[in-house]
Amino acid sequence: MLNIRPGLCILALMLTLNAAVLRADEAALIQRGKYLTLIGGCNDCHTPGFPESGGSIPEDQWLTGVPLGWNGPWGTTYAVNLRLLLTSMTEERWLKFAHEIKARPPMPSWALNAMPEEDLRAIFKFVNKLGPGGSVMPPYTPPGDLPKTAYIEFVPKSPKP
Ligand code: HEC
């Protein structure tokens, strides 16, 4: 019994250290997710008032979706609520979804398609740390149908001669 104890103590210490390392890894991944969300421009379209405020919207309001339509030849799209979307998915489902997504403009699907798994996991962890929040955004409206919300006309215009 007496000579088992030191072994148990070492084991307990190793488990504690291991848990601490895992927590530190998780925290680093969440921080990276926040960084990628910022430089990936996700807030620019998916967070209400973000560009207008010079990026000073509090983190707990990030990525809740914007009910302002983007109207163009593709119809009218809305930057969805990523908080509700990502907290309703498993991490594995998100990886597949993000790699295969082909959304309508102006969503830069190619940015998500190009992200390595590690980066997508980081974004997933960050959004899940924020948790669900906000409400579901209006549905996509096909070309020709008038949007039921305020919208931005995303069509190039030539100067009048
Ligand atoms: C220029 C604006 C813009 C930027 C920047 C942007 N998005 Fe989007 N996003 C949209 C719009 C608009 C839609 C809806 C497209 C549609 O209806 O097909 C969308 C759709 C999505 C969807 C698909 C949701 C679904 O249910 O199909 C995901 C996931 C997504 N965005 C994640 C991101 C992430 C992550 C970033 C940052 C890397 C990002 N977006 C950057 C505008 C943007």
Is a pLDDT exceeding 90 seen at residue 120? Answer: yes
Over residues 39-51, mean pLDDT = 97
Over residues 16-31, mean pLDDT = 88
CB-CB contact of 33 with 39 (8 Å): no
74 assigned to some structural domain: yes
Q: Which residues contact ligand 1 via a Cβ below 6 A?
A: 40-42, 44-46, 70, 77-80, 82, 85, 101, 103-104, 106-108, 111-112, 123, 140
Is a pLDDT exceeding 90 seen at residue 136? Answer: yes
148 assigned to some structural domain: yes
> For tokens 């030191």, what's the residue?
6
CB-CB contact of 71 with 153 (8 Å): yes
Helices (H), 40-116: 42-46, 82-87, 91-100, 109-114
158 assigned to some structural domain: no
In the prediction, which pLDDT does 137 show?
98
CA-44 nearest atom, ligand 1: 5
Over residues 24-37, mean pLDDT = 95
160 assigned to some structural domain: no
* CB burial string 57-66: b at 16+ within 10 A, e below: beeebbbbbb
Is a pLDDT exceeding 90 seen at residue 12? Answer: no
Q: Tell me how many domains the chain contains.
A: 1
72 assigned to some structural domain: yes
In the prediction, which pLDDT does 17 show?
83
Rounded to an integer, what distance in angstroms lies between the CA atom of residue 147 and that of residue 68?
Answer: 10
161 assigned to some structural domain: no
Is a pLDDT exceeding 70 seen at residue 2? Answer: no
Predicted confidence (pLDDT) per residue in 50-102, tens digit: 999 999 999 999 999 999 999 999 999 999 999 999 999 999 999 999 999 99
Is a pLDDT exceeding 80 seen at residue 3? Answer: no
In the prediction, which pLDDT does 15 show?
86
Share of the chain above pLDDT 70, in %: 98
To the nearest 10°, report the CA torsion of 58, 60, 63, 67: -80
- The continuous run of DSSP H or E covering 153 comes out as strand 151-153
109 C-alpha to ligand 1 centroid (Å): 7
Range of the domain at 54: 8-153
